[in-house]
Structure 1
């Protein structure tokens, strides 16, 4: 994993959960990490802040910088990219992790929730990637990994929560579009999605969370899957959408017992039974 030495990641929404797991996975192999997140003070229902996340990154063996900001705001995104350049000399990897979810039926979905999902999921992914592109072009093995699902056009998923689906598939389409637009730029645009529920704050704060948490895998599975993808040459992964277990299997990791979730983990949204 020497491929991470002196490589710099910019991660949106990285103060906890999957974003932090990816940051820690890369940091454990010597990466530099810039975390862009809004949580600067402890929240009663959400563990950790962007500052404790940086401390975790450094404890894992990497170097970290915290940027308190909102991925929806162009000036905050630019500050995160500027921090990466100032502290570490550039940007090698972007992780579009920040995301909002609301699965209310259409007639009950508030317009402000619609706006929030479009602004964070699609606009935030666009802003962070756009700001990083001039620096990614200079990297010898640049990657942009977006936390979005493979395009599953099953009527079940299209009808389950159309607005959330639109926002997540929008992230996927941006990644696939950039893979084609920048095919000759040496940047690997890929998507990563979990096969099962992941034990994050979103699950812990949901109704009936005890059973859901017991059947959810540890965020580390997403961190390890991201490391496996980001360790590969950018051309190998450009334009691909990965499920975490598939990315791990390609790296020779098939024993998933250490990630928890029990014998019958809950399949995640957009993932069909095999």
Structure 2
């Protein structure tokens, strides 16, 4: 496996769930991780802060920097970029993991909720890429990874979740565009999406409740897939909308039982935007 010692990665939304798992995975392979998220103080319902995740990483002997970040605010994103350069002087990858979700149709989605989803899911990808691109270029290139799905044009995804769907597909379209735009800069851009639901707070509170955990996987599969992507040469993997299990199989992994949230589970709930078997 590729040693990431000396490399630096920014992960947004890294205080819990998939972002935390990715931060721990990259740190376990020697990377320094910028843990960027809004949560700098404990939440009554949602465990984890930027400081708790950094403490976990520091306990392993690796470097970590907690940064409070509001991806909706251009000034906050720019300050984050300046702090990363001052602290590390380089950047090898950006993972746009921060997300907002509201699974309602057009009629039932308050405009303020749509604005939030657009700002966090879509606009933030552009803001973070713009702010960090100069440092990544000066570092010789790297990876941008967006957590967004393959673009499935089945009308059912637009009928029931149109507002959310358009913001996530917008991220995927930015992936395709940036992959071509930054190809000459030795910067690979890809998207990653889970094949099954993942046992996170987003699923617990917005996508079916804790009972869905029984047919979900842990965030570790997304972390392993992200590490696999970031381990590839930028010239060999870019401009793809990837699915975690499919990507890991492509690179030789055959065992997936250990990712089950509930040990022994063999049937899982297929995630949004993917055709069910």
TM-score tier by shorter-chain length is: over 0.9
Residues 1:236 and 1:60: Cα distance change in structure 2 (over 3 Å): farther
SS of residue paired to 1:94: strand
SS of residue paired to 1:100: coil
Find out whether 1:225 has 2:225 as its counterpart: yes
**CA contact under 8 A between 2:104 and 2:162: conserved in structure 1?**
no
Using the TM superposition, give the Cα deviation of residue 23 of structure 1 relative to its aligned residue in structure 2, in angstroms. 1.0
Alignment of structure 1 residues 1-274 onto 2, 5 Å: 1-206=1-206, 209-261=209-261, 262-274=265-277
Residues 1:134 and 1:227: Cα distance change in structure 2 (over 3 Å): same
**CA contact under 8 A between 2:105 and 2:159: conserved in structure 1?**
no
SS of residue paired to 2:185: coil
2: distance between equivalents of 1:120 and 1:208? 21
SS of residue paired to 2:145: strand
1: distance between equivalents of 2:108 and 2:134? 42
Using the TM superposition, give the Cα deviation of residue 216 of structure 1 relative to its aligned residue in structure 2, in angstroms. 1.0
* TM-score scaled by length of structure 1: 0.96
The alignment of Structure 1 onto Structure 2 pairs a total of residues equal to: 274
**CA contact under 8 A between 2:146 and 2:192: conserved in structure 1?**
yes
**CA contact under 8 A between 1:10 and 1:81: conserved in structure 2?**
no
**CA contact under 8 A between 2:30 and 2:62: conserved in structure 1?**
yes
| Greater shift in the superposed pair: 98-107 or 54-63 | 54-63
Per-residue CA deviation, residues 226-262 of structure 1 (Å, 9 max, x unaligned), is 0000000011111011100012112221211111141
2: distance between equivalents of 1:108 and 1:154? 21
Using the TM superposition, give the Cα deviation of residue 188 of structure 1 relative to its aligned residue in structure 2, in angstroms. 0.3
**CA contact under 8 A between 1:10 and 1:80: conserved in structure 2?**
no
SS of residue paired to 1:258: helix
**CA contact under 8 A between 2:104 and 2:160: conserved in structure 1?**
no
1: distance between equivalents of 2:213 and 2:59? 26
* TM-score scaled by length of structure 2: 0.95
Unaligned runs of at least 5 residues, structure 1: none
* CA RMSD in angstroms, aligned pairs only: 1.5
1: distance between equivalents of 2:2 and 2:207? 43
| Greater shift in the superposed pair: 255-264 or 203-212 | 203-212
Per-residue CA deviation, residues 140-180 of structure 1 (Å, 9 max, x unaligned), is 45000000001111112222211101000000111110111
SS of residue paired to 1:4: coil
SS of residue paired to 2:242: strand
**CA contact under 8 A between 2:95 and 2:146: conserved in structure 1?**
yes
